[in-house]
Chains A and B, each alone.
Chain A
Amino acid sequence: MPKPPVPLFCGVFSDEDDTLEATKACREAGFEFYDVYAPYAVHGLDRAMGLPFSKVTWVTFCFGALGMTIALSGMTYASWWDWPLNVGGKEALPFPAFVPITFELTVLIGGVCTMLGMFAMCLLFPGKKALLLHKGQTDDKFVIALKKGENFNEQKAREIFTRHHAEEMHHRDSHYNAADEPATGGAA
């Protein structure tokens, strides 16, 4: 079942520093963020929005531990439990020989699952339809999307956005998709 649309008020910026400062100002003024969009990772933006620290580190840790377990148990099963082989006169359970493979599987599974976990947290998958509040937000524009709650003060939001050189301001809802807009022709 699709979620009901969230009414939003968006400011569009073309400068990283303006966006960061506007985000800080919005947070101080008590606005609630829907999200802030940027074409690239902006240092300190998560902190400015007051986001909690990412949970993705725990995904990395748990899947790294899983990779380590798979490597150690798999090698122990194959070379000691199931069919002990004499390799170069080493003991049947040669722990030093296990270390590189354990290391590699820890890093591989930990790393790949970090990426998959991040995709899952962001609800991203191949072929997903782009959902853009503004056409430029994956190119050269920054978008601050505020939730229009019960006590939303539009005058105040407009004041903050204007003070930080917002280029456009729009009322949108979270189901709005700028990707569906007809091409504007001359827009770069």
Chain B
Amino acid sequence: MRVEQNHRGQMAAMSMPALVFTVGMIAFPFLYTIWMSFQTYSSTGQVTGWGGDNYLRMVVDGQFWNGIWITLYLYVLSLVMQLVLGTGLALLLFRAKRLPGIVRSLFISPFMMPPVVAGMMWLVILDPSLGAANWILTSLGLPPSAWLASPVLVVPTLAMIDTWQWTPYVALIVLGGLQSLPPSVYEAAEIDGASRRAVFFRITLPLLLPTLVTAMILRSVDLLRFFDLIYITTQGGPSNHSMTLNIYGFRVGFEFFQLGYAGALMVTLSVLVLGAVMAFNRLRAVVEW
């Protein structure tokens, strides 16, 4: 008995460094951000006040609401495109059964690419005067587009770039889901006389919902924190039309050095992400079969 307790003590002592490290690396920055969000700082970094001022400021800050709107607009647009295209792509791949290695590699390459590289690549492609995108449009007799420089098109264009990069990832998740569906159910449907349309909408899609919700959770976390691609391409412009909450918080913190307010913005964003994840987790329990 004593030996066992000694043994336990030893084990606790030996796992302590890992515990301290984990708390230091994960919990401390998070708690410190929350702590900061309740403080106001002068431009020289002195604490000038304590309380909920930063959160009150958010309510009346037009830029904050613009950030929320842009974040949600970009999020919904990208998520819908990635889910629809990803599911379509997965169904095609599922039917193809065997896939040459080169196709598979090409297929997963977009999301292997660092977002910075993807951003630079698309900047070149979408350049209004030199880019391939406008060359194609004008070759087809269509008017050229301003793409990322257009206040109207900037969010759809960013959504398109992200969709290009992340649709294969969604497709791989959905393909995994498709491959795990019970084959005998499809044979039963064949005997029951279900058309292809009925099989898709009444069997495949409902059975895939748990997988789709998982894909939604994974993409939601990324999409709500949309940052690197915008930072490389537009930095929030033109005139704040792609200023997501994350980009706004970054600029407030590291360009205007209002660390308290930036902290409050980031805490709000985190709550938004957490809320989305919790909502989808609920949804997953509902669609589970």
Mutual binders A and B: no
Give A residues with C-beta under 8 Å from B.
none
